[in-house]
Structure 1
Amino acid sequence: MRTVGSTSGPIPSRTPLAKGIIASVLSLTDGVVFAFLVVVMTLVRYDFHMDRVNVPGMFVCSAIALLVFLVCGPLAIYQGRYRRGSTDQFAAIAGTVALGVGLMWVAEFVFASRLLIPTSVPIAAGAMMVVVKSLENWVRRNLRQRTLSTSGASRPTLVVGAGSQGTLALDMIAQDSRSEYAAVGMLDDDPNKRHLRYNGIRVLGPISDIANQVDRTGASVVLIAITDLPPEDLQEIASNLESRPVEIKIMPRLAVSDYSRPEPDSLDVADLRHRNFRDVSLEDLIGRKPITTNVEDIASAITDRVVLVTGAGGSIGSQLCKQVARFDPARLIMTDRDESGLHATQLGLEGSALLTSEDLVLGDLRDPAFIDALVAEAQPEIIFHAAALKHLTFLERFPEQAVRTNVGASLDLLDAAVANDVESFVHISTDKAAGATSVLGRTKFSIERAVASVAAESGRKYMSVRFGNVLGSRGSVLETFVAQVAAGDPVTVTDPEVTRYFMTGDEACELVLQAAAIGRPGETLVLDMGEPIKIDDLANRVIALSGRPDAHIVYTGLRPGEKLTEALLSPGEEDVRPTHPLITQVPITPIDLDALRRLVDASRDAGVFTHRTELETELTRIVSTPSATNASGFAITTTTVTIPDAGAAN
């Protein structure tokens, strides 16, 4: 089973002259048919006795039938006002027929002295005209479907779901000028839809019968047209189709307003086409509706401000830059030590990457002199601090690197922000900071507390944001699973019961921007990410969708510092949401900044490589030490770093 995508180009549009010619031809055809029906109904009324028919009167009424369509067709029916075959167009046709019938009756009244045709004839002819147009639409749709199904040029497609999304998918397939797909049937579990038929395509059975229906119809594409299909059901569909060369596509939610606009050149359903039929995404695998925040608040906080984003070459930083750019900042400065990452970020933002912009700054945040120069020159009003080391297992092995980057660089950046009167500072943290058991979690929580200390002392809007696992970010678990399956390797899961919180990259970036708008000094903002997801379930879904029945899971066991389940809040933190119903705003206890700075100095000492355990122990002690409050109103602790120096190591 494959889940690869497809490409398609734009549909060439017709010129106004061509549209006018087509409208005239269609109107003439309808007029001739209506006139012919008037003649036929007149003859039927007199049992085909021509001697009893008022021939001139019959032709007068036929002429009326022809003229109403010649006039109304180009103006009201076929000149781009309605989508071809739509109910609106059919209503316009019925209205034109009614107008013709009314004019025939007027003619009867005018020539009352001499009966033109019986009064019942216009009604019968009008009714027959409506029936003929209904049959025409039905035949045209069914003939197109049958032609696509038997031509071999189109890919047979089985639509899962016979609701509004399913019928919309059938319309999109039927009106696609490229005819890449051809619907061969629908599947739906609703017993009330068992005998449903739409445009010649019928419901073949329940979704559980998908494998048999694929074999019977020869479908090479399965299109999921059910809004918010649970990931378990998606996994079951994929499992039933394993070993079959079938693509799975997803039909995004579309409303009628997405494609029916009143303008003559409006985008119709054919223009949407199957470019909206997307591959199965990572978001589909977690099965959670994306959460959106208050965009208006974000815009007011970002627009016309100077913004600095650190770690702009990373997966989160680059997405954050794209989001910030949407709100028209006065200047967006992007910095990273990864030159390739900055190149990719500029390419994604501007479509080119000449690397000549003054807003792209290459440098290492572990260099205090670089930070001081950067902030002093840029004079940002808002700093989004996304730069960090994040791989838990690496940082357990090399805690000095975690302290140097996640703690040392962050403290230096905070100092530079205070010195240069930066209004807002948003530190991107992680859910591993809640009840931290790892070096990564402790370094991040220490900076949450450091931000709270600086905010309490300065009164500025300095705050943190806790993320769950971000889908699509480099090194994320789902990306790892996909790569393992593609390479034919076993899928590695630490424990069958391990669970994690997930969020999309867009959600993560919106939360960061929202924090700048609603966050209060010293707080940590946490997004409601729904229920945690079992990693084992995700692995099985990836395997099912891969079409590789030979793929299997290997359990490796929890690594040092890892938890079986993550928490969003530390013990003692309360879930309070004063501003946004989906965002918890947690007041954070400050920390002794001098103790953290001494820890950073120790991490930079050459002797630390032989005393990593002591460094990690000291980090744990500083982070977990209760704080007291001094006279100035912010918390302090008394700690002493006791890591031996380089000489003692010898």
Structure 2
Amino acid sequence: MKKKNFILIILDIVLINLAYILALYLRFDGNIPQLFMETYINNVIAISLIKIIVFYFFKLYKSIWKYASIDEMIDIVLASIVANALAMAYMTLTQVNMPRSIYLMAPILDMAFIGGIRFSYRALSRVKNGTPKNLVGCKRILIVGAGSAGAMIIKELRNHRTLRSIPVAILDDDLKKKDQNINGVPILGNRKDIPRICKEENIDEIIIAIPSANKKEIREIVNETRKTKCKTKIVPGMYELIDGQVSIKEIRDVEIEDLLGREEINLDMDEICGYIKNRRILVTGGGGSIGSELCRQIARFNPEELIILDIYENNAYDIQNELLRKYDDLNLKVIIASVRDKKRIDEIIEKEKPDVVFHAAAHKHVPLMENNPEEAIKNNVFGTLNLVQASDKYNVKKFVLISTDKAVNPTNIMGATKRICEKIIQSKNEESNTEFVAVRFGNVLGSNGSVIPLFKRQIAEGGPVTVTHEEVIRYFMTIPEACQLVLQAGSMAEGGEIFILDMGEPVKIIDLAKDLIRLSGFEPNVDIPIEITGLRPGEKLFEELLLDEEGISDTSHNKIFIGKPIFTDYNYLLKELEKLKDVTSTGDIRKIKQSIQNLVPTYKVYKQLDSSKKENKDSRKSINKIPTTSSLY
């Protein structure tokens, strides 16, 4: 037993006996009858033993009392009540008579003495260690949010002296809280007062402590913090916290995902479990950004076997090791293969017999595919065809294609090849027992090759940050959110659908660049220049999510919509694909693009755009065909 605990037990024995004697003293106005005093002395060992055992059971000797809070006080109250109830039961059973009022006064005095000795230790620790002795060099902290998270941050900052951070003020939008305080820290105003309070109080750092806040509220608060020169940090949303508990280690810098991401996705776990649990799941491109996150999400639902297929062994190796560390009982297999290899794909599907295939393997970089159209066609189009035909042949139950908004009215080779993939799955679905569906969404935050990692590298190098056009806008979604919605859409699939995910509000890329520069602690076009480089080949100002003729219908999930099938002639498609294969083998880019246009009439070579009003107006009209208030704009 630790020395401190031994001392605490001795103190408790003294205090609980002192409480009984004091209760007797108060009951008889200082003249304790000898009978009751002798009765108590004869039972003092039994009473002390009962109470110490109860205190031990309630873990009063395992708490670190210099961090004691309301939880520890509740434990003391409950322990005192239970201990005295058992002591009374013992004395009743042994027919020992004591005044009934003693049984009421004793627990109250126990609470006062037992709690008092412990919280006095915390008070002494607070006086001794709560504030750094030398305030020079300490960060002055402003906390936004006067709720439980804000109170916890104050406690954590005071308990971790090595951080040398002092909570100076709190802001909260609840007007009723103004001029009050939390643990001695005053509430001085609301979020609009951030610039003023930072200046008046010489604030060094701002912590946003509102885990329940939605993304719009976070953006508004961050907009106010930008008016200061203070570093801004944030407590993550409640769904990111372990058991909802806030601690110093959870506080992190504000990230672009906090500003662009949406609210936590509500998933129908039963529906997802219904087609993944105890099923054999194959993920192609399983080592990529989307594929690897799909594997992480799928592993949570206890598949019979998870099969990762990828041509790049390093990525596959990384996700394999990660999943095996997290899921000891996961039946995992990694296959290195190319979706281009028809014979190999046939062998894999026949041998592994997957119930569900998530097809995420694809070439996706627009400029690279413009310069290498043959590779885009071989991988995206014929790789998908190989998987679709093998899945049909060997009775895969469900096939989910990961598609892109660039497949809509494509202006680049990559988008056109993905539109062909959508046609393959929609037409094959008409004659197959396999349920073939596609899930279409926009840009994914932080994925390999996306704009955000590029901007971060450019900022780290001192700039410039390159933006292709001042008017370019894109839809963004976080990787986990995209994959969660893919899984949910898969559970809704009946065959032939193109599921369209709610991508939220479009974001100007130049605004995104400015946000990242500010979040990195710099001023756009002052510390880090922004350079306009011109649109790249095949790049649009605005991406779309829906073809004119597709129409859209709701689903049971408010972030998932369905575009109706518009192409179903599989045999015609096969003939055109044979022509495309022949043309692709020639390497003639002009003929390749002409062949693609025969397959995808909406495909056109996109000219370099200026920011003319007509171009912008036409593009915005295309976007606004998607529902606005309920979903996608």
SS at match of 1:203: strand
383 and 78 in structure 1: CA distance in 2 versus 1, 3 angstrom threshold: closer
CA separation in 2, counterparts of 1:101 and 1:382?
Answer: 62
1:496 shift after superposition: 3.6
- Matching residue of 1:298: 272
1:30 shift after superposition: 4.3
Q: 2:454 aligns with which of 469, 473, 480?
A: 480
* Structure 2, unaligned runs of 5 or more: 604-633
For 1:466-521, what per-residue CA distance to the aligned partner results, in whole angstroms no more than 9, with x for missing partners? 12211221012222222221221122233344332222222222233333322121
SS at match of 1:605: helix
For 1:226-257, what per-residue CA distance to the aligned partner results, in whole angstroms no more than 9, with x for missing partners? 13253423533553454x5x472424427999
Alignment of 1:479-558 (within 5 A): 479-549=453-523, 550-558=527-535
CA separation in 2, counterparts of 1:92 and 1:418?
Answer: 62
Q: 1:413 aligns with which of 363, 387, 394?
A: 387
Higher RCO by CA contacts (8 Å cutoff, separation 6 or greater): 1
CA separation in 2, counterparts of 1:231 and 1:583?
Answer: 25
Q: Do 1:222 and 1:247's aligned partners in 2 also have CA atoms closer than 8 Å?
A: yes
CA separation in 2, counterparts of 1:544 and 1:424?
Answer: 45
Q: Do 1:149 and 1:156's aligned partners in 2 also have CA atoms closer than 8 Å?
A: no
- Matching residue of 2:126: 144
How many residues end up aligned between the 2 structures? 576
CA separation in 2, counterparts of 1:23 and 1:231?
Answer: 46
Give the counterpart letter for 2:148 in structure 1.
S
Q: 2:574 aligns with which of 594, 600, 603?
A: 594
- Matching residue of 2:546: 569
Q: Do 2:309 and 2:334's aligned partners in 1 also have CA atoms closer than 8 Å?
A: yes
1:525 shift after superposition: 1.2
1:452 shift after superposition: 0.6
CA separation in 1, counterparts of 2:27 and 2:336?
Answer: 87
Say whether 1:165 aligns with 2:134: no
Q: Do 1:37 and 1:125's aligned partners in 2 also have CA atoms closer than 8 Å?
A: no
For 1:170-203, what per-residue CA distance to the aligned partner results, in whole angstroms no more than 9, with x for missing partners? 4555667x96575523421333223333334443
The percent of aligned pairs where both chains have the same amino acid is: 31
CA separation in 1, counterparts of 2:561 and 2:168?
Answer: 47
CA separation in 1, counterparts of 2:18 and 2:166?
Answer: 32
CA separation in 2, counterparts of 1:96 and 1:380?
Answer: 57
SS at match of 2:469: coil
CA separation in 2, counterparts of 1:525 and 1:216?
Answer: 52
Alignment of 1:338-487 (within 5 A): 338-351=312-325, 359-487=333-461
425 and 19 in structure 1: CA distance in 2 versus 1, 3 angstrom threshold: farther
Alignment of 1:226-305 (within 5 A): 226-227=210-211, 228=213, 230-236=217-223, 239-240=226-227, 242=229, 246=231, 248-253=233-238, 258=243, 273-305=247-279
510 and 128 in structure 1: CA distance in 2 versus 1, 3 angstrom threshold: closer
For 1:123-151, what per-residue CA distance to the aligned partner results, in whole angstroms no more than 9, with x for missing partners? 79958964994796488268538724315
CA separation in 1, counterparts of 2:83 and 2:426?
Answer: 78
SS at match of 1:289: coil
Give the counterpart letter for 1:523 in structure 2.
E
CA separation in 1, counterparts of 2:132 and 2:485?
Answer: 50
Q: Do 1:500 and 1:533's aligned partners in 2 also have CA atoms closer than 8 Å?
A: yes
Which is worse superposed, 304-313 or 93-102? 93-102
Q: Do 1:528 and 1:582's aligned partners in 2 also have CA atoms closer than 8 Å?
A: yes
Q: What is the alpha-carbon root mean square deviation over aligned residues?
A: 4.5
Which is worse superposed, 75-84 or 403-412? 75-84
1:390 shift after superposition: 0.9
Q: TM-score, normalization: structure 1? A: 0.74
76 and 155 in structure 1: CA distance in 2 versus 1, 3 angstrom threshold: farther
* Structure 1, unaligned runs of 5 or more: 1-14, 46-51, 260-268, 627-650
Give the counterpart letter for 1:345 in structure 2.
I
CA separation in 1, counterparts of 2:240 and 2:282?
Answer: 38
CA separation in 1, counterparts of 2:295 and 2:242?
Answer: 31
1:207 shift after superposition: 4.5
317 and 254 in structure 1: CA distance in 2 versus 1, 3 angstrom threshold: closer
1:455 shift after superposition: 0.4
Q: Do 1:211 and 1:240's aligned partners in 2 also have CA atoms closer than 8 Å?
A: yes
- Matching residue of 1:80: 59
CA separation in 1, counterparts of 2:512 and 2:50?
Answer: 61
SS at match of 2:385: helix
CA separation in 2, counterparts of 1:125 and 1:334?
Answer: 63
Q: Do 1:595 and 1:622's aligned partners in 2 also have CA atoms closer than 8 Å?
A: no
